[in-house]
Structure 1
């Protein structure tokens, strides 16, 4: 991880990023307890790790990144996203939105507010996305891959 991303991630955790990561972990736990929600639980834990250290990583559509579709990018993924939105997505997105508004009040908080807004969008529709490092994405683009 580059030094700048590391510093931003440290500031992110200190300014409250840990609480939203905890929110994602709680959503994962609740989904896992239902047993039916196990696929969503795994995805929520992946995004919890991303929420804990968002700088230096990005969320991309999995079918565009890998060059092929899968279950999460198909019609079942669409249905899964609707179920996710109803049971967990809206309140996680609302938490990110409130955090973004609070951080946007200060100039120093603007990069963190922007990160919360991106995470709020991800919270609404997470299935079919993959978290990758920015470096890996840049390498793929340099090789002519999306």
Structure 2
């Protein structure tokens, strides 16, 4: 084993189990097969969400997951943002049920701050792109990383 094998395993595992808003957006645009789960509570869901997301609060995953997501279907979970570990808890719950799951780091906060589509109970929500989280300009949704 070389001295580089431990960090390689670590970073490869992160990429296997984590994703980010711009990659999730690209996967949605590409038609990739997965279900996006918003794990927040009802009030947060009503406040705003990713249009393609399905609402399944973390506390309900154990009882409702198989009725909401067909077994064998890859899952991506998100919660509020980087200051919240709700998506980690949700990812653990889906993992315990045998699902292939990834956590969307940055959560809904960074989805919205990057100017990606958001809806609420009244339809589309227009938000400005935060220049500290995403490039500003036509078609500049991601950082090209």
TM-score, normalised to structure 2's length? 0.29
Larger strand proportion of the pair: 2
